[in-house]
Structure 1
Amino acid sequence: MRVLIVYASKYGSTGEVASAIEEVLTTRGKHVDTHDALSAPAPTGYDAVIVGSGVYVGSWLKAAASYLETHAEALRERPVWLFGVGPLGFDDPQPAGDPDQAPTLVERVAARAYVTFTGALDRSRLSLVDRMITRVVKAPDGDFRDWGAIRAFAHDVADALETGAAAPVSRPSAPVASARHAAVDAGGRS
């Protein structure tokens, strides 16, 4: 079974999450190709697709959202899962909630699920503007990614592919109900 993972990452955290998902799927016997959204191939020829993006100011990065829009028809013809990394909550490393556009993204490609993972913030890697924004919103510095939740998501995707189950996959262990959105994703390392 061929699986395509497409991601958009501003500072690298989302790319690392995509790699962790790839590792699990590969150990489960899937042939996985992982690409940055700017250079990702069309989903034709793949049995399933996972698309993820860093979340900034409550929105996906343009490259990932554009990939979904450009390939919406082909994506609707195969199982698709979506994930976001961040944003970090104010004074709290938990995600500030799913992006407002998540329901639209899910509907556009008939995704089986959308999950939000916590990310990482390393201010030393941020642009000046992003450093200022994270200071204003008091986003906590550090790596808050829940690798167990990320691997569980990947295993749930593999299970669904192996059984043909259409049920949504598990949510990350972190609470994601808050409607607040920090200005920079999972710590500026999305």
Structure 2
Amino acid sequence: MNVLVSVASKHGATAEIADHVGEVLRRRGFETTVLHPEQVGSVENYDAVVLGSAVYAGHWLKEAKDLAAGIADSHPLPLVWLMSSGPVGVPLKPDEDPVDVAGLVESTRALEHTVFAGKIDKSKLSFGERAVAGALRVPEGDYRDWDSITIWAGTIADILDAEMPALQDP
């Protein structure tokens, strides 16, 4: 079974999550490719796609949204999981979904959308980004929960294991 893991990452922290998810899936025996969205020409050769994005002001980056549109137009649709990375600070998870992805979930028929806490390294931010982070009192630090990310990737592998016979039937 071929799996694509693709995330849009502005400063690299979300890409590190993609690499980790890809490694978990590989260890579980799946042929897994990790690519940036702009490197993906088509999802035709993939049975499943894990698509994600860093989140800024509640929105995904354009390249991830563009790939989601490509997935929505593909036939047949692969199995799709969506993930967002970006909330930082305490509390890490607001009561409401901090990401506007309802349309993407619907168009890709994603099985799930999950939100992971992100990482802020102010040394990697532009002057404007640092100004906004300072004005909003965005705390610097790495808030990613690697155990939760590993468990989530393992759950995807479990579902793919269960789906594999159905996908292989002609």
Tell me the TM-score normalized by structure 1. Answer: 0.81
Check whether the contact 1:76–1:110 (CA below 8 A) recurs between aligned residues. Answer: no
Deviation (angstroms), 1:139: 1.0
In 2: Cα distance, 1:42 partner to 1:16 partner: 23
Could you tell me which runs of 5 or more consecutive residues in structure 1 were left unpaired when the two chains were aligned: 166-190
Please state which structure has a larger fraction of its residues in helix.
Answer: 2
Q: How does 1:81-120 map onto structure 2 within 5 Å?
A: 81-88=81-88, 92=90, 94-96=92-94, 97-120=96-119
Partner of 2:13: 13
Structure 1 residues 60, 128: closer, same or farther in 2, change over 3 A? same
- Partner residue of 2:167? none
CA–CA separation in structure 2 for the residues paired with 1:75 and 1:139: 41
Shift of 1:102: 1.8
Question: Offset of 1:95 from its aligned partner?
Answer: 4.0
Q: What per-residue deviation string (whole Å, max 9, x for no partner) do you get for residues 53-89 of structure 1?
A: 0000000001000111133122762210000001325
Check conservation: 1:93, 1:144, Cα contact below 8 A: no
Q: CA deviation at 1:99?
A: 4.0
1:40 match: 40
C-alpha separation in 1, matches of 2:5 and 2:135: 33
- Give unpaired runs (5+ residues) of structure 2: 165-170
Q: Residues 123-142 of structure 1: matches in 2 within 5 Å?
A: 123-142=122-141
Matching residue of 2:53: 53
The number of residues matched between the two structures is: 163
Q: Which has the higher contact order (CA 8 A, sep 6+)?
A: 1
Change (3 A) 1:75 1:37: farther
> 1:34, 1:142 → 2: CA distance?
25
Q: Separation in 2 of the partners of 1:112 and 1:27? A: 22
Q: Residues 48 and 105 of structure 1: is their aligned pair in 2 closer, same or farther, counting only changes over 3 Å?
A: same
Change (3 A) 1:111 1:147: same
Q: How far did 1:5 drift?
A: 0.8
4+ residue runs over 6 A deviation: none
Measured in 2, the distance between the counterparts of 1:75 and 1:81 equals 17
Seq. identity, %: 37
Q: 1:115 to 1:76 in 2, by over 3 A?
A: farther
